[in-house]
């Protein structure tokens, strides 16, 4: 099995006195990002990418799937669209928990345990999946009523508006 590259966000501090052009060249940033980094004194590497920190020893599928089902039952069971995407949402939550299995262990402390962090990772993964699914498929349903008469070719002439599809 190929190892998955670890993707972490990290704060990179800029040396004082570097020009914007030097920052662009050294850190491969755009001019806007280089200027902002110069002003702040740092930039965050991998800011726009999903973090992936896998710890295979910390991942237990016997715990993850019941947790994902519990999150679904608590937050999404009344949503008919979510009910139709039940299996996909459970799998998305389990996948995201696997991707962040190392981070959950690092973040755990006396106040926030691994179960708490796992709950919110599941919730956010399911919510992101549901929103992206709605966004990707919105065009299919929103124009259905308008598209059917056009497909069927039913037209009438209105003196006020000209030819209209009914």
Question: Mapping DSSP to helix (H, G, I), strand (E, B) and coil, where does residue 160 land?
Answer: coil
Residue 21 falls inside a structural domain: yes
- The answer to whether 52 touches 101, Cβ cutoff 8 Å, is no
Residue 166 falls inside a structural domain: no
pLDDT digit string (tens) for 23-79?
Answer: 999 988 899 989 999 999 998 887 766 767 777 787 888 999 999 999 999 999 888
pLDDT digit string (tens) for 103-150?
Answer: 766 666 777 777 888 899 999 999 999 999 988 887 776 656 655 665
Residue 160 falls inside a structural domain: no
Threshold 0.75, pTM exceeds:
no
Query: HSE-up of 157 (CA within 13 Å, CB side)?
Result: 1
- Indicate if 139 and 65 belong to the same structural domain: yes
- Indicate if 65 and 135 belong to the same structural domain: yes
- The answer to whether 98 touches 64, Cβ cutoff 8 Å, is yes
Residue 41 falls inside a structural domain: yes
Residue 154 falls inside a structural domain: no
Residue 31 falls inside a structural domain: yes
Q: 136-147 burial string, b = 16+ CB within 10 Å, else e? A: eeeeeeeeeeee
């Amino acid at each position: 099995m190929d190892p998955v590259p670890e993707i972490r966000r990290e704060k990179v501090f800029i040396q004082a006195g570097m020009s914007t052009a030097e920052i662009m060249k050294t850190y491969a940033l755009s001019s806007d990002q280089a200027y902002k980094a110069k002003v702040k004194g740092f930039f965050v590497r991998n800011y726009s990418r999903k973090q992936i920190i896998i710890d295979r020893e910390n991942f237990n599928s016997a715990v993850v799937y019941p947790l994902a089902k519990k999150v679904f039952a608590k937050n999404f069971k009344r949503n008919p669209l979510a009910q139709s995407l039940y299996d996909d949402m459970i799998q998305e939550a389990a996948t995201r928990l696997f991707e962040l299995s190392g981070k959950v262990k690092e973040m755990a402390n006396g106040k926030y345990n691994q179960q708490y962090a796992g709950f919110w990772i599941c919730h956010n993964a399911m919510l992101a999946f549901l929103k992206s699914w709605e966004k990707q498929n919105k065009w299919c349903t929103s124009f259905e009523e308008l598209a059917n008469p056009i497909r069927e070719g039913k037209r009438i002439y209105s003196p006020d508006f000209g030819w209209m599809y009914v």
